[in-house]
Structure 1
Amino acid sequence: MDNYMNSRFQWADLCRIYAIFLVIVIHVSAKYLIDFTGIHESNWLFANLFDSFARVSVPLFFMLSGALLLNTEKISGNTLSGISGRIWKITIPLIFWSIIYVLHLKHYGVDIKFTHMLHEPVMYHLWFAYAMIFIYATLPFIKNLYENINKSPSLIFYLLTLWFTVYLIKGYISIGFLNPMGINYSPVFGYIGYFILGGLLIRYKQAILNKVKKTTVLYIFLLSSLTTFIATIWLSYHANTTITTAYEYLTINVAMAALSIFVLIFDIKINSKYNKILKTISENVFFIYFIHLLIMSKVETIFSGMPALIEIPLTSLLTLAISLVIAIIVRKIPKAPIITG
């Protein structure tokens, strides 16, 4: 484990970069998917294909956080001051960008108040920051649970089965006997499942790869992502509108794709001469996550009218590049990263 927990993790940088790019792909694809009957069928199908393979993005972020925070002997962030520090590192940028997006929405005539951020995200992608604040606030409890899990293989099996049953299949199957009172389970606890799984996969990664070939893991990713793609086609064509059930992050198809690609990314080795580039992109991912929707809305006009097969990757790449350049410039301003992320 020690050789994986150095000050810089190439695999972690790769995971962050891959995940943020896929987040952008999802958001670029959305305009095609919401217009099921108003666009050419091929554009909808390609948007669905891109989106289906990009659904691993958010689970990767949760698993990466768990892998890095749960597998060290001592986590400085476990102290009260450390936890509050982690929370403020997210909360301050969240407040800043919420204000920016409120102003952005007001500019386009949307009636929204600044207090909106107190009870829900002002922009749809900001929900992730709220979820991470909750996870950081409960980190000592999660860490304690994680350590106890590792002492008992049967407990690992039990909790994984519980997570699978409660969260990953409930979107497809109604299991009344498990929820007779109709309780609405908060998805944030499902995301904590990804957080813990990230730690477990890193800890037992070598044992997993010793038993399962990498090609098998790759096939699981491909099959799971294709399942998302095909299920979305089937559900949408029957309803004559886009049905996003298979896109949900807490579904078995997305979970299997995310778990498999996470293991594969961890084992990717890139020439160390690229480490500086990877580090530069990786350390700006948080800022990119916040700003990319503003950039995307402008970049989309450049490639407007192109087929989705071409427009989605081009818009996603240029959005990432411009967001990165802005992030690098802002980072040079003293104290700015504290506010902007």
Structure 2
Amino acid sequence: MKAKKERIFYYDALRAFAIIAVIICHVDHFFGPLTSTTQVVAQMAFHDIGRIGVPIFLMISGALLLNREYPDLGQFLKKRFARIIYPFIFWIILILGQLYYYGYNTGFMWKVFIGEPSITWYFWVLIGIYLFLPVLNSFVKEYGEKGLEYFLAIWFIIMILKTFDSYPLWSYFDLSYFAGYVGYPVLGYYLANKKFKMSDAKVCLLGFVTLLVSFSVFVYLNYQSSNMISLIYQNVPIVFMGTGLFLFVQYLDKLNRFDSIKNNFIGKIILSLSLYSYGMYFSHVLVVKFLSYHNPQTHMMFPVMFVVIIFLSWLMPYVLSKIPYIKIFSGA
């Protein structure tokens, strides 16, 4: 009998935070009317917290899937694609059905399917990353830490160029193999395995400070309507936000700061959010769209609406995962 693989708690904690962050990005319209600068900044800061969700998801994928033995390429692709394609098909049918019910035209629904005005773009990003992952995996196994640093150095330069809207510098200077979202899985694996020459407490503090400073910069640039952050997931502040949060949570775990909650009610909530996060990524679209027609338009009700959205978004894939023959579609 194959032994059950032990879960790594800080991955679950990061994944739980990431799905809440993604939902945050899509619920700020429940704030109600913004009538002061303070309210505008508060709403913007709350929204910008959510931008860290997608990078964290991708970083966890890299940490878990890189530098592994994949003797059968076909089986690897089949397993990875089955985990994301079946739930996508199920949830996209429900999402498009809901839009049809509310009277949206087929042109808009097609754009939702391909991810232009909706969160389904993340599915297509995952498809591209999974196709390229075996190549990255061989690279990591062959060149190790030095190869990772080489890749990340070029990727970070590209993020700088994209931040200032200067990529490509000229048409024949092609760095596209290092560009885009593919750097986040590499960064996640690198941070998960890097041995720092400082104490765990100092790395934890460094992660927190990095997160705080980069988040402040991101909110400031967003408030100033700077075109420096037009690519919301491919810019320097977001890279540092992801790095800071990943290190902070990882080293909190190393310092045993989570031991008191791992086996209690809070720990169970974190684990459950982590387990159903992919299904929640899709189900929250249905919940948010439905509740948007019942928006109380008041700041006082926003916390209640937010909790209700998270709960219902979790409940849907949870219930589906308990139904025989349906679990494969739940995203659990």
In structure 1, list runs of 5 or more residues that go unmatched: 237-242
Where do 1:201-212 residues align within 5 Å?
201-204=191-194, 206-207=196-197, 212=202
In structure 2, list runs of 5 or more residues that go unmatched: 253-257
3-state SS, counterpart of residue 150 of structure 1 = helix
Name which of 146, 153, 158 aligns with 1:161: 153
Matched, 1:134 2:128: yes
The answer as to whether partners of 2:215 and 2:237 remain within 8 angstroms in 1 is yes
Instruction: Show the counterpart of 1:112.
Output: 106
Instruction: Show the counterpart of 1:225.
Output: 215
Where do 1:181-192 residues align within 5 Å?
185=176, 189-192=179-182
Distance 1:311 1:166, change over 3 A: farther
Distance 1:127 1:31, change over 3 A: farther
One-letter code aligned to 1:52: D
How far does residue 80 in structure 1 lie from its aligned partner after superposition?
0.9
Distance 1:132 1:79, change over 3 A: same
Instruction: Show the counterpart of 2:60.
Output: 64
Name which of 227, 238, 248 aligns with 2:232: 248
Which consecutive segments of 4 or more residues in structure 1 shift more than 6 A? none
When the two chains are superposed, the root-mean-square deviation of aligned CA atoms in Å is 3.3
The answer as to whether partners of 2:30 and 2:297 remain within 8 angstroms in 1 is no
Q: Which string of whole-angstrom CA distances, capped at 9 and with x for unpartnered residues, describes residues 216-246 of structure 1?
A: 321110010010111111126xxxxxx6826
How far does residue 317 in structure 1 lie from its aligned partner after superposition?
2.4
Name which of 144, 152, 157 aligns with 1:150: 144
The answer as to whether partners of 1:13 and 1:282 remain within 8 angstroms in 2 is yes
Instruction: Show the counterpart of 2:28.
Output: 29
| Identical-pair percentage | 23
How far does residue 175 in structure 1 lie from its aligned partner after superposition?
5.2
Q: Which string of whole-angstrom CA distances, capped at 9 and with x for unpartnered residues, describes residues 118-172 of structure 1?
A: 9823761111111112222222111012223415x2x444322211122343232
2 CA distance for matches of 1:196 and 1:208? Answer: 22
2 CA distance for matches of 1:70 and 1:141? Answer: 10
Distance 1:71 1:10, change over 3 A: farther
Where do 1:90-105 residues align within 5 Å?
90-105=84-99
Distance 1:305 1:184, change over 3 A: farther
The answer as to whether partners of 2:59 and 2:187 remain within 8 angstroms in 1 is yes
The answer as to whether partners of 2:321 and 2:328 remain within 8 angstroms in 1 is no
The answer as to whether partners of 1:231 and 1:246 remain within 8 angstroms in 2 is no
Q: Which string of whole-angstrom CA distances, capped at 9 and with x for unpartnered residues, describes residues 252-273 of structure 1?
A: 0011011110111112324332
The answer as to whether partners of 2:63 and 2:189 remain within 8 angstroms in 1 is yes
Aligned residues: 320
Instruction: Show the counterpart of 2:170.
Output: 179
Instruction: Show the counterpart of 1:240.
Output: none
3-state SS, counterpart of residue 263 of structure 1 = helix
3-state SS, counterpart of residue 106 of structure 2 = coil
The answer as to whether partners of 1:246 and 1:253 remain within 8 angstroms in 2 is no
1 CA distance for matches of 2:87 and 2:173? Answer: 36
Distance 1:160 1:168, change over 3 A: same
Instruction: Show the counterpart of 1:19.
Output: 18
The answer as to whether partners of 1:92 and 1:338 remain within 8 angstroms in 2 is yes
2 CA distance for matches of 1:130 and 1:65? Answer: 15
How far does residue 316 in structure 1 lie from its aligned partner after superposition?
2.8
How far does residue 320 in structure 1 lie from its aligned partner after superposition?
1.0
Instruction: Show the counterpart of 2:189.
Output: 199
2 CA distance for matches of 1:75 and 1:120? Answer: 30
The answer as to whether partners of 1:205 and 1:263 remain within 8 angstroms in 2 is no
How far does residue 303 in structure 1 lie from its aligned partner after superposition?
5.7
The answer as to whether partners of 1:52 and 1:226 remain within 8 angstroms in 2 is no
